[in-house]
Structure 1
Amino acid sequence: MAETILVLEDDPAMQSFLSTLLKSHQHKVLSFTAGLPALQCLVTESVDLILLDLGLADMDGQVWLEQLRSWSEIPVIVISARHSEQDKVLALDNGANDYVTKPFSAAELMARIRANLRKATLHQQVFAFGDVQLDPVHRTVQRNTQPVHLTKTEYDILLLLMRNADKVLTHNQILSQVWGKAYTGRPEYVRVHMAQLRQKLEANPAAPTYLKTEPGVGYRLSVSATGL
């Protein structure tokens, strides 16, 4: 069955391009230029993924994203001309699954769409990458079938990343969910534990294949075939 993608974009030319591109890949497309009608549509329509421009006709896209995340976990890819690190971090903190800056290639966008649709489908099943396996029931980790000892904090970070495979998690998202909201603003905590995880789980910790850094933003567990 073809996935349904909602496009929330106020530029007619970009909206037309996205609609044509998605339909050429056999996706059903719902297009909107304003945030409120899109939210109303989501109440009754089944949507698999959202492409969100931050500059909407009736509200800021960041506000729209916050409103959506108060009741829905539909994957959202932000597509925006806003290039600043601050805008990217804010969108991810507000619940975006990915962020693509304009201009972008059709191939890149489709790869990110595929990765996010895969992640949504396999959300509960993806507990492995490379030669690493995690058993959330028994709270065990193995590499090449051999037990790996992780501290509680290391384990919690790894489980969080695996449950959000291929999604960028900001430093503050990790800090809030692993340490608690009182620890936000302390990215050095995350860096130390990520370095330890790489030492234990990556073949080459200095050039990790899976535990990727998003400079100035956070981390991503890369498990998709595209590497995105």
Structure 2
Amino acid sequence: MAETILVLEDDPAMQSFLSTLLKSHQHKVLSFTAGLPALQCLVTEPAELILLDLGLSDMDGQEWLQQLRGWCDTPVIVISARHSEQDKVQALDNGANDYVTKPFSAAELMARIRANLRKTADVRQVFAFGEVQLDPVSRTVQRSGQAVHLTKTEYDILLLLMQHADKVLTHNQILTRVWGKAYIDRPEYVRVHMAQLRQKLEANPAAPAFLKTESGVGYRLTLAATGV
């Protein structure tokens, strides 16, 4: 299967070059010029690798990298015209896996991409709690070995909670990531879908052991079963 690579680059000419290069090597390409839409995309459409320019239209690339690393381990290769050692060190400290300075050759970039993809090729992360398993590659969910059908919204919420296991996510964080910023301050949307998830995944939906409510704040997925 061709790997999906997300390209976050605000220069149209460079974005076009990168997309053409990657597609010529049979990669699927997700292209963005702004950071927030790219983060939202990654929640629902995982990529195997990210190419990140530090100069974005809506935020600094270093800030974007910090936000990403709060919940996602996808390899990131920074592609930047910033040549200073300080920029490179900061990017690596913020979670970048590699740093390529512009200008660069297509052969060099593809070599870096292959190297980073090899490191993760044999690592297929499956999220799990209790008797539930979620495979983000195949987008499947099982409970006690049996397939569970989730709607797209239910799946997106569950994946988000599992990526932030044991951390509280506020109603607005979930709404922004799953529905978009236009839907903030509509916590009833989340409540309805959380109730549906509990019906499908909890042994006792009325007293959930894993999908916990943080009263007045949001929700938390706990990895170890707890009482009410």
- TM-score with structure 2 length normalisation? 0.54
Q: Secondary structure at the match of 2:67?
A: helix
Q: Secondary structure at the match of 1:29?
A: strand
What's 2:88 paired with?
88
Q: Secondary structure at the match of 2:6?
A: strand
Give the distance between the partners of 1:98 and 1:122, measured in 2 at CA.
19
Matched, 1:12 2:19: no
What's 1:29 paired with?
29
Q: Counterparts in 2 of 1:89-168, with a 5 A limit? A: 89-122=89-122
Give the distance between the partners of 2:111 and 2:2, measured in 1 at CA.
16
Give the distance between the partners of 2:46 and 2:65, measured in 1 at CA.
17
Q: Counterparts in 2 of 1:172-211, with a 5 A limit? A: none
- Amino acid corresponding to residue 12 of structure 1 in structure 2: P
What's 2:189 paired with?
none
Question: How far apart are residue 123 of structure 1 and its match?
Answer: 5.3
Give the distance between the partners of 2:60 and 2:8, measured in 1 at CA.
12
Give the distance between the partners of 2:121 and 2:94, measured in 1 at CA.
22
Give the distance between the partners of 2:120 and 2:52, measured in 1 at CA.
17
- Amino acid corresponding to residue 27 of structure 2 in structure 1: H
Give the distance between the partners of 2:123 and 2:85, measured in 1 at CA.
27
Give the distance between the partners of 2:14 and 2:44, measured in 1 at CA.
25
Larger Rg, first or second structure (1 or 2): 2
Q: Secondary structure at the match of 2:10?
A: coil
Give the distance between the partners of 2:83 and 2:122, measured in 1 at CA.
30
Give the distance between the partners of 2:60 and 2:66, measured in 1 at CA.
10
What's 1:2 paired with?
2
**Superposed CA offset, 1:176-215 (max 9, x none):** xxxxxxxxxxxxxxxxxxxxxxxxxxxxxxxxxxxxxxxx
- Amino acid corresponding to residue 7 of structure 1 in structure 2: V
Give the distance between the partners of 2:28 and 2:121, measured in 1 at CA.
17
Ranges in structure 1 where 5+ consecutive residues have no aligned partner: 125-228
Question: How far apart are residue 121 of structure 1 and its match?
Answer: 1.6
Give the distance between the partners of 2:123 and 2:117, measured in 1 at CA.
10
- TM-score with structure 1 length normalisation? 0.54
Give the distance between the partners of 2:112 and 2:122, measured in 1 at CA.
15
Give the distance between the partners of 1:46 and 1:82, measured in 2 at CA.
27
Give the distance between the partners of 2:16 and 2:50, measured in 1 at CA.
15
Q: Secondary structure at the match of 2:66?
A: helix
Question: How far apart are residue 15 of structure 1 and its match?
Answer: 0.1
Give the distance between the partners of 1:60 and 1:102, measured in 2 at CA.
17
What's 1:72 paired with?
72
Q: Secondary structure at the match of 1:30?
A: strand
- Amino acid corresponding to residue 35 of structure 2 in structure 1: G
Question: How far apart are residue 62 of structure 1 and its match?
Answer: 0.1
What's 2:170 paired with?
none
